[in-house]
Structure 1
Amino acid sequence: MKVDILAIGAHPDDVELGCGGTLAKLISEGKKVAVVDLTQGELGTRGTNVTRAEEAANAAAIQGYVNRENLKMKDGFLVNSEEYQMQIVKMIRKYKPEIVFSNAIDDRHPDHAKGSKLVSDACFLSGLVKIETVLDDEPQEAWRPKQIFNYIQWKNITPDFVVDVSDFMEKKIEACLAFKTQFYDPESAEPMTPISSKDFLESLTYRAQDLGRLSGVDFAEGFTSEKLLAFKNFDGIIL
Protein backbone atom coordinates (compact mmCIF):
# COMPACT_ATOMS: atom_id res chain seq x y z
CA MET A 1 0.00 0.00 0.00
CA LYS A 2 2.53 2.58 -1.10
CA VAL A 3 1.53 6.19 -0.63
CA ASP A 4 3.14 9.50 -1.51
CA ILE A 5 2.52 11.14 1.87
CA LEU A 6 2.16 9.66 5.35
CA ALA A 7 0.75 12.21 7.79
CA ILE A 8 1.27 11.33 11.44
CA GLY A 9 -0.34 13.02 14.43
CA ALA A 10 -0.08 12.46 18.14
CA HIS A 11 -3.87 12.86 18.40
CA PRO A 12 -6.82 12.48 16.07
CA ASP A 13 -7.38 15.96 14.54
CA ASP A 14 -3.69 16.99 14.68
CA VAL A 15 -3.10 16.46 10.96
CA GLU A 16 -6.33 18.21 9.97
CA LEU A 17 -5.52 21.23 12.13
CA GLY A 18 -1.84 21.37 11.18
CA CYS A 19 -1.80 20.50 7.50
CA GLY A 20 -5.36 19.71 6.42
CA GLY A 21 -5.28 22.22 3.57
CA THR A 22 -1.99 20.88 2.23
CA LEU A 23 -3.26 17.30 2.38
CA ALA A 24 -6.45 18.28 0.54
CA LYS A 25 -4.37 20.02 -2.12
CA LEU A 26 -2.05 17.05 -2.58
CA ILE A 27 -4.98 14.65 -2.86
CA SER A 28 -6.58 16.91 -5.50
CA GLU A 29 -3.34 16.60 -7.48
CA GLY A 30 -3.61 12.81 -7.43
CA LYS A 31 -1.24 12.09 -4.56
CA LYS A 32 -2.01 9.18 -2.24
CA VAL A 33 -2.18 10.15 1.43
CA ALA A 34 -2.48 7.91 4.49
CA VAL A 35 -2.81 9.04 8.10
CA VAL A 36 -1.60 7.42 11.30
CA ASP A 37 -2.80 8.72 14.66
CA LEU A 38 -0.52 7.71 17.52
CA THR A 39 -3.06 7.95 20.35
CA GLN A 40 -6.84 7.89 20.63
CA GLY A 41 -6.92 11.29 22.33
CA GLU A 42 -8.55 9.58 25.28
CA LEU A 43 -7.44 12.24 27.77
CA GLY A 44 -9.26 14.99 25.90
CA THR A 45 -11.68 16.92 28.12
CA ARG A 46 -14.51 16.70 25.59
CA GLY A 47 -15.77 13.58 23.88
CA THR A 48 -14.45 10.03 24.26
CA ASN A 49 -12.08 7.73 22.43
CA VAL A 50 -15.15 6.27 20.72
CA THR A 51 -16.43 9.61 19.45
CA ARG A 52 -12.91 10.62 18.41
CA ALA A 53 -12.62 7.44 16.32
CA GLU A 54 -15.92 8.18 14.60
CA GLU A 55 -14.88 11.77 13.97
CA ALA A 56 -11.48 10.71 12.60
CA ALA A 57 -13.22 8.38 10.15
CA ASN A 58 -15.54 11.19 9.05
CA ALA A 59 -12.61 13.56 8.53
CA ALA A 60 -10.79 10.89 6.50
CA ALA A 61 -13.83 10.50 4.24
CA ILE A 62 -14.04 14.27 3.72
CA GLN A 63 -10.37 14.50 2.83
CA GLY A 64 -10.10 11.32 0.77
CA TYR A 65 -7.25 9.55 2.56
CA VAL A 66 -6.48 6.07 1.22
CA ASN A 67 -6.36 4.81 4.81
CA ARG A 68 -6.31 5.99 8.41
CA GLU A 69 -5.31 3.94 11.43
CA ASN A 70 -4.64 4.43 15.12
CA LEU A 71 -1.71 2.90 17.02
CA LYS A 72 -3.41 3.39 20.40
CA MET A 73 -0.34 4.66 22.20
CA LYS A 74 -0.92 6.23 25.60
CA ASP A 75 -2.33 9.74 25.31
CA GLY A 76 -0.42 12.28 27.39
CA PHE A 77 2.46 9.90 27.97
CA LEU A 78 4.20 9.51 24.64
CA VAL A 79 7.78 8.39 25.11
CA ASN A 80 10.57 7.89 22.62
CA SER A 81 10.84 4.20 23.44
CA GLU A 82 11.90 1.24 21.36
CA GLU A 83 8.37 -0.14 21.57
CA TYR A 84 6.78 3.00 20.14
CA GLN A 85 9.56 3.50 17.59
CA MET A 86 9.05 0.00 16.22
CA GLN A 87 5.30 0.50 15.88
CA ILE A 88 5.94 3.53 13.70
CA VAL A 89 8.70 1.76 11.77
CA LYS A 90 6.13 -0.85 10.77
CA MET A 91 3.80 1.89 9.51
CA ILE A 92 6.57 3.56 7.49
CA ARG A 93 7.52 0.25 5.92
CA LYS A 94 3.87 -0.57 5.28
CA TYR A 95 3.08 2.68 3.45
CA LYS A 96 6.54 3.48 2.01
CA PRO A 97 5.94 7.25 1.85
CA GLU A 98 8.24 9.64 0.04
CA ILE A 99 7.36 12.36 2.55
CA VAL A 100 6.25 12.22 6.17
CA PHE A 101 4.32 15.05 7.83
CA SER A 102 4.60 15.09 11.61
CA ASN A 103 3.75 17.15 14.68
CA ALA A 104 5.26 20.53 15.52
CA ILE A 105 8.80 20.45 16.89
CA ASP A 106 7.71 22.57 19.87
CA ASP A 107 4.19 23.13 21.12
CA ARG A 108 1.79 23.67 24.02
CA HIS A 109 0.84 19.99 24.30
CA PRO A 110 3.87 17.90 25.35
CA ASP A 111 2.80 14.99 23.14
CA HIS A 112 3.33 17.11 20.04
CA ALA A 113 7.06 17.72 20.45
CA LYS A 114 7.53 14.18 21.80
CA GLY A 115 5.63 12.79 18.82
CA SER A 116 7.77 14.85 16.46
CA LYS A 117 11.02 13.39 17.80
CA LEU A 118 9.55 9.89 18.01
CA VAL A 119 8.54 9.96 14.35
CA SER A 120 11.86 11.44 13.28
CA ASP A 121 13.83 8.68 14.98
CA ALA A 122 11.50 6.00 13.61
CA CYS A 123 11.98 7.33 10.06
CA PHE A 124 15.74 6.89 10.42
CA LEU A 125 15.48 3.44 11.99
CA SER A 126 13.06 2.31 9.31
CA GLY A 127 15.85 2.60 6.75
CA LEU A 128 18.20 0.23 8.57
CA VAL A 129 18.18 -3.17 6.88
CA LYS A 130 19.36 -4.98 10.02
CA ILE A 131 16.18 -4.00 11.85
CA GLU A 132 13.72 -6.73 10.94
CA THR A 133 9.96 -6.25 11.19
CA VAL A 134 6.97 -8.40 10.35
CA LEU A 135 3.46 -7.13 9.69
CA ASP A 136 0.51 -9.47 9.15
CA ASP A 137 2.93 -12.42 9.06
CA GLU A 138 4.88 -10.85 6.19
CA PRO A 139 8.48 -9.62 6.54
CA GLN A 140 8.89 -5.95 5.68
CA GLU A 141 11.56 -4.24 3.61
CA ALA A 142 13.60 -1.34 4.95
CA TRP A 143 12.30 2.07 3.86
CA ARG A 144 13.34 5.61 4.70
CA PRO A 145 11.26 8.64 3.62
CA LYS A 146 13.08 11.27 1.58
CA GLN A 147 11.76 14.18 3.67
CA ILE A 148 10.20 14.85 7.07
CA PHE A 149 8.20 18.06 7.37
CA ASN A 150 6.70 19.26 10.65
CA TYR A 151 3.45 21.19 10.52
CA ILE A 152 2.82 24.12 12.85
CA GLN A 153 0.23 23.84 15.61
CA TRP A 154 -0.53 26.02 18.65
CA LYS A 155 2.71 28.00 18.82
CA ASN A 156 3.65 30.50 16.13
CA ILE A 157 6.83 28.82 14.93
CA THR A 158 8.57 30.55 12.03
CA PRO A 159 8.14 28.20 9.05
CA ASP A 160 10.93 27.15 6.72
CA PHE A 161 8.41 27.19 3.88
CA VAL A 162 4.68 27.58 3.32
CA VAL A 163 2.18 25.91 1.01
CA ASP A 164 -0.50 27.91 -0.78
CA VAL A 165 -3.82 26.39 0.34
CA SER A 166 -6.06 29.22 -0.87
CA ASP A 167 -8.38 26.88 -2.76
CA PHE A 168 -8.58 24.34 0.04
CA MET A 169 -9.37 26.27 3.21
CA GLU A 170 -13.05 25.32 3.07
CA LYS A 171 -12.13 21.64 2.83
CA LYS A 172 -9.69 22.00 5.74
CA ILE A 173 -12.31 23.67 7.95
CA GLU A 174 -14.87 21.01 7.01
CA ALA A 175 -12.44 18.24 7.95
CA CYS A 176 -11.56 19.94 11.24
CA LEU A 177 -15.23 20.40 12.12
CA ALA A 178 -15.75 16.67 11.64
CA PHE A 179 -14.26 16.54 15.16
CA LYS A 180 -17.43 18.14 16.44
CA THR A 181 -16.92 17.24 20.10
CA GLN A 182 -13.61 19.11 20.19
CA PHE A 183 -14.39 22.50 18.71
CA TYR A 184 -16.71 25.45 19.15
CA ASP A 185 -20.35 24.48 19.66
CA PRO A 186 -22.53 27.04 21.48
CA GLU A 187 -25.05 24.28 22.27
CA SER A 188 -22.55 21.91 23.89
CA ALA A 189 -22.84 21.35 27.63
CA GLU A 190 -19.29 19.98 27.90
CA PRO A 191 -16.52 21.98 29.63
CA MET A 192 -14.75 24.67 27.67
CA THR A 193 -11.17 24.05 26.58
CA PRO A 194 -8.58 26.21 24.79
CA ILE A 195 -9.50 24.62 21.45
CA SER A 196 -13.28 24.68 21.92
CA SER A 197 -13.47 28.47 21.98
CA LYS A 198 -14.85 30.51 19.09
CA ASP A 199 -11.53 32.33 18.88
CA PHE A 200 -9.62 29.10 18.28
CA LEU A 201 -11.96 28.13 15.46
CA GLU A 202 -11.54 31.55 13.89
CA SER A 203 -7.76 31.29 14.33
CA LEU A 204 -7.64 28.49 11.76
CA THR A 205 -8.58 31.07 9.16
CA TYR A 206 -6.75 34.16 10.36
CA ARG A 207 -3.46 32.36 11.01
CA ALA A 208 -3.57 30.91 7.48
CA GLN A 209 -4.41 34.38 6.19
CA ASP A 210 -1.40 35.86 7.97
CA LEU A 211 1.00 33.31 6.46
CA GLY A 212 -0.67 34.02 3.13
CA ARG A 213 -0.16 37.77 3.62
CA LEU A 214 3.54 37.21 4.23
CA SER A 215 3.92 34.96 1.19
CA GLY A 216 1.67 36.71 -1.31
CA VAL A 217 -1.32 34.34 -1.37
CA ASP A 218 -4.72 34.27 0.32
CA PHE A 219 -4.11 31.36 2.70
CA ALA A 220 -1.04 29.28 3.52
CA GLU A 221 0.10 26.53 5.88
CA GLY A 222 3.63 26.54 7.29
CA PHE A 223 6.13 23.76 7.84
CA THR A 224 9.59 23.33 9.26
CA SER A 225 12.12 21.00 7.67
CA GLU A 226 14.68 18.75 9.31
CA LYS A 227 17.20 19.40 6.57
CA LEU A 228 18.08 22.17 4.16
CA LEU A 229 15.81 22.12 1.13
CA ALA A 230 17.20 22.38 -2.40
CA PHE A 231 15.15 23.45 -5.44
CA LYS A 232 15.81 21.99 -8.88
CA ASN A 233 14.35 25.12 -10.44
CA PHE A 234 11.97 27.97 -9.63
CA ASP A 235 8.86 26.34 -11.08
CA GLY A 236 6.02 26.46 -8.58
CA ILE A 237 7.41 29.33 -6.53
CA ILE A 238 5.00 32.22 -6.20
CA LEU A 239 6.86 35.42 -7.04
Structure 2
Amino acid sequence: MKLDILAFGSHPDDIELSCGATLAKEVSKGKKVGIIDLTRGELGTRGTAETRDEEATNAANILGVNSRINMQFADGFFQNDKAHQLELIKMIRYYQPEIIICNAVDDRHIDHPKGSQLVSDACFLSGLKKIETIYKDESNGQEPWRPKAVYHYIQWKDLTPDVVVDVSGYMDKKVASVLAYKTQFFDPNSKEPETPISSKNFTDSVVYRARNLGRLIGVEHAEGYTVERYVAVDSLFDLK
Protein backbone atom coordinates (compact mmCIF):
# COMPACT_ATOMS: atom_id res chain seq x y z
CA MET A 1 0.00 0.00 0.00
CA LYS A 2 1.56 3.27 -1.11
CA LEU A 3 1.17 6.04 1.46
CA ASP A 4 1.73 9.77 1.28
CA ILE A 5 2.50 10.08 4.99
CA LEU A 6 3.61 7.46 7.50
CA ALA A 7 3.58 8.60 11.15
CA PHE A 8 5.51 6.73 13.84
CA GLY A 9 4.97 6.89 17.59
CA SER A 10 6.86 5.14 20.36
CA HIS A 11 3.53 4.64 22.15
CA PRO A 12 -0.11 4.68 21.17
CA ASP A 13 -1.29 8.31 21.74
CA ASP A 14 2.07 9.95 20.88
CA ILE A 15 0.83 10.71 17.38
CA GLU A 16 -2.62 11.94 18.38
CA LEU A 17 -1.16 14.31 20.97
CA SER A 18 1.53 15.73 18.71
CA CYS A 19 0.45 15.64 15.06
CA GLY A 20 -3.16 14.47 15.12
CA ALA A 21 -4.53 17.65 13.57
CA THR A 22 -1.91 17.61 10.81
CA LEU A 23 -2.89 14.05 9.88
CA ALA A 24 -6.60 14.85 9.99
CA LYS A 25 -6.03 17.81 7.68
CA GLU A 26 -4.05 15.76 5.16
CA VAL A 27 -6.67 12.98 5.22
CA SER A 28 -9.33 15.59 4.43
CA LYS A 29 -7.26 16.65 1.42
CA GLY A 30 -7.25 13.08 0.08
CA LYS A 31 -3.79 12.05 1.22
CA LYS A 32 -3.19 8.44 2.20
CA VAL A 33 -1.93 8.32 5.78
CA GLY A 34 -0.74 5.44 7.96
CA ILE A 35 0.30 5.09 11.59
CA ILE A 36 2.85 2.73 13.12
CA ASP A 37 3.12 2.42 16.90
CA LEU A 38 6.42 0.95 18.05
CA THR A 39 5.09 -0.43 21.37
CA ARG A 40 1.74 -1.21 22.97
CA GLY A 41 2.49 1.14 25.87
CA GLU A 42 2.39 -1.81 28.22
CA LEU A 43 4.46 -0.08 30.91
CA GLY A 44 1.98 2.77 31.22
CA THR A 45 0.78 3.36 34.78
CA ARG A 46 -2.88 3.59 33.77
CA GLY A 47 -4.81 1.08 31.72
CA THR A 48 -3.41 -2.04 30.05
CA ALA A 49 -1.91 -3.01 26.72
CA GLU A 50 -5.31 -4.41 25.75
CA THR A 51 -7.17 -1.19 26.54
CA ARG A 52 -4.53 0.79 24.64
CA ASP A 53 -5.04 -1.49 21.61
CA GLU A 54 -8.75 -0.70 21.61
CA GLU A 55 -8.19 3.00 22.20
CA ALA A 56 -5.64 3.19 19.37
CA THR A 57 -8.13 1.62 16.96
CA ASN A 58 -10.82 4.10 17.98
CA ALA A 59 -8.43 7.03 17.62
CA ALA A 60 -7.35 5.89 14.14
CA ASN A 61 -10.99 5.72 13.07
CA ILE A 62 -11.55 9.27 14.30
CA LEU A 63 -8.57 10.57 12.33
CA GLY A 64 -9.63 8.58 9.26
CA VAL A 65 -6.20 7.12 8.50
CA ASN A 66 -5.78 4.29 5.99
CA SER A 67 -3.89 1.90 8.25
CA ARG A 68 -2.50 1.46 11.75
CA ILE A 69 -0.23 -1.32 12.96
CA ASN A 70 1.75 -2.01 16.11
CA MET A 71 5.32 -3.32 15.96
CA GLN A 72 5.03 -4.73 19.50
CA PHE A 73 8.54 -3.66 20.46
CA ALA A 74 9.25 -3.73 24.21
CA ASP A 75 7.95 -0.58 25.89
CA GLY A 76 10.83 1.15 27.66
CA PHE A 77 13.40 -1.37 26.47
CA PHE A 78 13.44 -1.37 22.68
CA GLN A 79 16.79 -0.46 21.17
CA ASN A 80 18.07 1.38 18.14
CA ASP A 81 19.92 -1.67 16.84
CA LYS A 82 20.09 -3.75 13.67
CA ALA A 83 17.18 -6.03 14.55
CA HIS A 84 14.77 -3.16 15.23
CA GLN A 85 16.04 -1.12 12.28
CA LEU A 86 15.44 -4.02 9.88
CA GLU A 87 11.86 -4.39 11.08
CA LEU A 88 11.18 -0.72 10.39
CA ILE A 89 12.98 -0.85 7.03
CA LYS A 90 10.52 -3.53 5.97
CA MET A 91 7.60 -1.26 6.83
CA ILE A 92 9.09 1.81 5.14
CA ARG A 93 9.73 -0.18 1.97
CA TYR A 94 6.26 -1.71 2.10
CA TYR A 95 4.39 1.60 2.48
CA GLN A 96 6.85 3.74 0.45
CA PRO A 97 5.79 7.03 2.11
CA GLU A 98 6.79 10.38 0.68
CA ILE A 99 6.91 11.88 4.17
CA ILE A 100 7.64 10.32 7.55
CA ILE A 101 6.69 11.95 10.85
CA CYS A 102 8.15 10.63 14.09
CA ASN A 103 8.86 11.34 17.75
CA ALA A 104 10.54 14.39 19.24
CA VAL A 105 14.32 14.51 19.06
CA ASP A 106 14.47 15.39 22.77
CA ASP A 107 11.84 14.71 25.40
CA ARG A 108 11.02 13.68 28.96
CA HIS A 109 10.23 10.02 28.19
CA ILE A 110 13.30 8.01 27.18
CA ASP A 111 11.37 6.16 24.47
CA HIS A 112 10.62 9.36 22.56
CA PRO A 113 14.14 10.44 21.51
CA LYS A 114 15.09 6.75 21.23
CA GLY A 115 12.19 6.12 18.85
CA SER A 116 12.98 9.33 17.00
CA GLN A 117 16.54 8.24 16.23
CA LEU A 118 15.50 4.66 15.44
CA VAL A 119 13.01 5.80 12.81
CA SER A 120 15.42 8.35 11.38
CA ASP A 121 18.19 5.77 11.04
CA ALA A 122 15.80 3.24 9.49
CA CYS A 123 14.74 5.86 6.90
CA PHE A 124 18.34 6.29 5.80
CA LEU A 125 19.14 2.59 5.78
CA SER A 126 15.95 1.82 3.86
CA GLY A 127 17.43 3.59 0.84
CA LEU A 128 20.51 1.35 0.68
CA LYS A 129 20.27 -1.21 -2.09
CA LYS A 130 22.55 -3.79 -0.46
CA ILE A 131 20.28 -4.18 2.57
CA GLU A 132 17.94 -7.00 1.55
CA THR A 133 14.52 -7.42 3.15
CA ILE A 134 11.40 -9.49 2.55
CA TYR A 135 8.07 -8.50 4.10
CA LYS A 136 5.70 -11.27 5.22
CA ASP A 137 5.02 -13.77 2.44
CA GLU A 138 6.34 -11.72 -0.46
CA SER A 139 8.29 -13.99 -2.79
CA ASN A 140 10.57 -11.23 -4.04
CA GLY A 141 12.82 -8.96 -2.02
CA GLN A 142 11.79 -5.38 -1.37
CA GLU A 143 13.06 -2.44 -3.38
CA PRO A 144 15.03 0.31 -1.59
CA TRP A 145 12.97 3.32 -0.52
CA ARG A 146 13.89 6.53 1.23
CA PRO A 147 11.25 9.17 2.07
CA LYS A 148 11.68 12.68 0.74
CA ALA A 149 11.53 14.20 4.22
CA VAL A 150 11.50 13.23 7.90
CA TYR A 151 9.77 15.57 10.35
CA HIS A 152 9.87 15.26 14.14
CA TYR A 153 6.86 16.41 16.11
CA ILE A 154 7.10 18.15 19.48
CA GLN A 155 5.96 16.44 22.68
CA TRP A 156 6.35 17.22 26.40
CA LYS A 157 9.22 19.69 26.05
CA ASP A 158 8.60 23.02 24.33
CA LEU A 159 11.19 22.62 21.59
CA THR A 160 11.48 25.42 19.05
CA PRO A 161 9.90 24.26 15.78
CA ASP A 162 11.55 24.66 12.39
CA VAL A 163 8.23 24.29 10.54
CA VAL A 164 4.76 25.20 11.76
CA VAL A 165 1.61 23.79 10.14
CA ASP A 166 -1.69 25.67 10.20
CA VAL A 167 -4.22 23.15 11.55
CA SER A 168 -7.10 25.55 12.14
CA GLY A 169 -10.40 23.72 11.78
CA TYR A 170 -8.95 20.32 12.69
CA MET A 171 -8.51 20.60 16.44
CA ASP A 172 -11.87 18.99 17.18
CA LYS A 173 -10.72 15.78 15.50
CA LYS A 174 -7.35 15.96 17.23
CA VAL A 175 -8.93 16.39 20.67
CA ALA A 176 -11.45 13.62 19.99
CA SER A 177 -8.64 11.26 18.96
CA VAL A 178 -6.70 12.10 22.13
CA LEU A 179 -9.72 11.57 24.35
CA ALA A 180 -10.26 8.17 22.73
CA TYR A 181 -7.51 7.10 25.16
CA LYS A 182 -9.95 7.11 28.06
CA THR A 183 -7.62 5.32 30.47
CA GLN A 184 -4.73 7.73 29.98
CA PHE A 185 -6.08 11.23 30.41
CA PHE A 186 -8.05 13.34 32.86
CA ASP A 187 -11.07 11.62 34.38
CA PRO A 188 -12.29 12.98 37.74
CA ASN A 189 -13.94 9.63 38.46
CA SER A 190 -10.91 7.48 37.74
CA LYS A 191 -9.49 5.33 40.52
CA GLU A 192 -6.18 4.95 38.67
CA PRO A 193 -2.97 6.58 40.00
CA GLU A 194 -2.25 10.11 38.83
CA THR A 195 0.45 10.58 36.20
CA PRO A 196 2.02 13.63 34.50
CA ILE A 197 -0.43 13.26 31.60
CA SER A 198 -3.59 12.52 33.60
CA SER A 199 -4.12 16.05 34.93
CA LYS A 200 -6.71 18.45 33.54
CA ASN A 201 -3.91 20.91 32.87
CA PHE A 202 -2.26 18.42 30.53
CA THR A 203 -5.49 17.71 28.65
CA ASP A 204 -6.11 21.46 28.34
CA SER A 205 -2.55 21.90 27.04
CA VAL A 206 -3.43 19.96 23.90
CA VAL A 207 -5.48 22.97 22.81
CA TYR A 208 -3.65 25.88 24.40
CA ARG A 209 -0.25 24.85 23.04
CA ALA A 210 -1.73 24.59 19.54
CA ARG A 211 -3.45 27.94 20.03
CA ASN A 212 -0.20 29.56 21.11
CA LEU A 213 1.68 28.28 18.05
CA GLY A 214 -1.21 29.49 15.93
CA ARG A 215 -0.99 32.91 17.54
CA LEU A 216 2.67 33.14 16.61
CA ILE A 217 1.94 32.57 12.91
CA GLY A 218 -1.32 34.50 12.77
CA VAL A 219 -3.80 31.61 12.63
CA GLU A 220 -6.13 29.90 15.10
CA HIS A 221 -4.17 26.68 15.77
CA ALA A 222 -0.90 25.13 14.64
CA GLU A 223 1.39 22.13 15.18
CA GLY A 224 5.17 22.41 15.08
CA TYR A 225 7.96 20.17 13.78
CA THR A 226 11.73 20.05 13.72
CA VAL A 227 13.52 18.99 10.56
CA GLU A 228 16.64 17.05 9.58
CA ARG A 229 17.59 19.24 6.65
CA TYR A 230 16.86 22.74 5.39
CA VAL A 231 13.30 23.35 4.26
CA ALA A 232 13.36 24.52 0.63
CA VAL A 233 10.80 26.64 -1.19
CA ASP A 234 10.60 27.71 -4.81
CA SER A 235 9.86 31.33 -3.93
CA LEU A 236 9.77 33.57 -0.88
CA PHE A 237 6.09 34.04 -1.71
CA ASP A 238 5.50 30.40 -0.82
CA LEU A 239 6.17 31.30 2.82
CA LYS A 240 3.20 32.54 4.82
What TM-score range do you get, normalising by the shorter chain?
over 0.9
| Other-structure match for 2:132 | 132
Per-residue deviation at 1:236? 5.5
Aligned to 1:189, which of 188, 191, 201?
191
Q: Percent same amino acid among aligned pairs?
A: 61
| Other-structure match for 1:209 | 211
Q: Which 5+ residue runs of structure 1 have no aligned equivalent?
A: none
Deviations 1:190-213 (A, max 9, x none): 011000100000001111111111
Report the residue type matching 2:19 in the other structure: C
Deviations 1:9-44 (A, max 9, x none): 000010111100000001001000000000000000
- The 2-side partners of 1:236 and 1:62 are apart by 31
Q: Which 5+ residue runs of structure 2 have no aligned equivalent?
A: none
Report the residue type matching 1:156 in the other structure: D
Per-residue deviation at 1:77? 1.3
Runs of 4+ in 1 over 4 A off after TM superposition: none
Report the residue type matching 1:71 in the other structure: M
- The 1-side partners of 2:173 and 2:115 are apart by 26
Q: How many aligned residue pairs are there?
A: 238
Report the residue type matching 2:114 in the other structure: K
Q: Are 1:23 and 2:28 matched, yes or no?
A: no
Deviations 1:178-231 (A, max 9, x none): 111000011111011000100000001111111111111111000000000101
Q: Superposition pairs for residues 10-89 of structure 1, below 5 Å?
A: 10-89=10-89
Aligned-CA RMSD value: 0.9
- The 1-side partners of 2:67 and 2:237 are apart by 31
Q: TM-score scaled by structure 2?
A: 0.97
Report the residue type matching 2:71 in the other structure: L
- Judging changes above 3 Å, is the alpha-carbon distance between structure 1 residues 49 and 95 closer, same or farther for their aligned structure 2 residues? same
- The 2-side partners of 1:192 and 1:64 are apart by 31
